Amino acid sequence: MTSILADNLTKKFGDLYAVDSLNLAVEKEIFGLLGPNGSGKTTTVLMLTTLLAQTTGTASICGHDTRREPDLVRECISYVPQEMAVDPNLTGRENLLIFARLYGIPNPKDKVDELLGIMELTDRAHDLAKTYSGGMRRRLELAEALVHEPEVIFLDEPTLGLDVGARQNIWQHIHALNKKGMTIFMTTHYMDEADKYCDRVGIISHGKVVALGSPAELKARLMNTVITVTLEGNYSPVQLDGLVFVGQSGNAYAFTAENGSEALPLLADALGRAGNRVKAMSLREPSLDDVFLQSVGKQEEPRGFEEMKFRMMLHRRH
């Protein structure tokens, strides 16, 4: 059965369409909802988790309608919000015990010990949650989310503010939960993580889904390769068929080409003939960042957007 279905799901705050006619079908997968600040990610999650009533449209989780059967929906889901969801003045173990009792779990203490073990928190179980690192706190929140063995877990920005190691660790846990058969619906701003760990992603902008598919599919739709050229001295412009100059930052210049490996030597030659002194050239395939920026850019193109897009192209490692 489809884990999450949204049919023209819409939320208006006054005149603002925070979520606008969202259609989604999520299976037992890791699904990432990506989008700029204020694009409607949290609003979507709140509606899907029954915490916010939609203006129009419908949503169902594991076959249960979020408005007509909210109790059944809540039984099969967990939600870890963007903000802190644990009581800082209780120990990790106490936090979990409250949850286990709330859900009426038989043998709550055994369940709590099991979850502390899974989330690598056994050693710190008796310390106050406020003494935990960001990564430990996130693992405690994940443990809470697992208390009643949900089928679908919603995670709003699960790796926000964590260091690289802690983020990787959280992803390993998320991956393991999915392998056990849980559907993961998460939001993130980290494109590289979404690319690596999500089976499919949806990109949302101004409440509308502007791209949907596996990271590989979305990247494949962007035919263009990005060529970055570092010059010594000024740039004398060159014109080549199929080559588009995208912008400049310092002495680095970016171009896109449909076939990068063919275009690279032609560009090198043309640059030389025009009197440019080339220090370095590099080629890379489009990334999910490019997909994101192109999809979101299509919708809004704010002032300075091209410049931002260009900086991101240059500053990413190949």
- Contacts with ligand ATP, residue ranges (CB under 6 A): 13, 16, 18, 35, 37-43, 82
- Contacts of 69 by beta carbon, 8 Å cutoff, 6+ apart: none
Tell how far CA 119 is from the center of its chain: 22
| 112/184 with CB nearer Mg ion | 184
- For residue 184, the tally of other CB atoms under 10 A from its CB is 23
Tell me how far, at minimum, the Cβ of 156 lies from ligand ATP, in Å. Answer: 7
Residue 178 partner contact from ligand ATP, Mg ion, none using kind-dependent CB cut-offs of 5 to 8 Å: none
- E strands, the chain, in order: 4-13, 16-26, 30-34, 56-61, 64-65, 77-80, 152-156, 183-188, 200-205, 208-213, 225-232, 243-249, 252-257, 277-284
Min dist. Cβ of residue 49 to Mg ion (A): 13
Q: Which is nearer to ligand ATP, 230 or 299 (CB)?
A: 299
CB of 41 to Mg ion, least distance (A): 5
As measured in angstroms, the least distance from the Cβ of 296 to ligand ATP is 11
Residue 33 CB neighbours (<10 A): 27
In sequence order, what DSSP letters do the residues of 267-289 get, joined into one string? HHHHHHHTT-EEEEEEEE---HH
The span from the CA of 215 to the CA of 234, in Å, is 37
Give whichever of 92 and 202 is closer to ligand ATP, judged by the CB atom. 202
Interface region with Mg ion, contact rule CB under 5 A, candidates 34-42, 91-99, 188-196, 279-287: 34-42
| 37 burial via Cβ count (<10 Å: 0-12, 13-18, 19+) | exposed
Closest distance of CB 238 from Mg ion, Å: 43
Number of H helices, E strands in the chain: 11, 14
Q: Shortest Cβ distance from residue 38 to ligand ATP (Å)?
A: 4
CA 300 to chain CA mean position, Å: 20
Residues between 161 and 220 with contacts to Mg ion, criterion CB under 5 A: none
Identify which of residues 82 and 251 has a Cβ nearer to ligand ATP in the complex: 82
Nearer to ligand ATP, 115 or 198 (CB): 198
Whichever of 160 and 314 has its CB closer to ligand ATP, that residue is: 160
Question: Is 39 or 159 the residue whose CB approaches ligand ATP more closely?
Answer: 39
Q: How far apart are CA 183 and CA 165, in angstroms?
A: 24
One of 3, 39, 42, 287 touching Mg ion (CB under 5 A): 42
Q: Choosing among ligand ATP, Mg ion, none, which partner's interface includes residue 18 (Cβ < 5 to 8 Å by kind)?
A: ligand ATP
Residue 38 binding target from Mg ion, ligand ATP, none, CB below 5 to 8 Å by type: ligand ATP
Provide the 10 A C-beta neighbour count for residue 151: 16
* Rg of the chain (C-alpha set): 23
Task: Give me the least distance between CB of 222 and ligand ATP, in Å please.
Answer: 23
Compare residues 14 and 250 and give the one whose CB is closer to ligand ATP. Answer: 14
User: Taking the C-alpha atoms of 167, 168, 169 and 175 in order, what is their torsion angle to the nearest 10 degrees?
Assistant: 110
Q: Which one of Mg ion, ligand ATP, none is in contact with 35 (Cβ closer than 5 to 8 A by kind)?
A: ligand ATP
Size of the site for Mg ion (CB under 5 A): 2
Contact set with Mg ion (CB under 5 A): 41-42
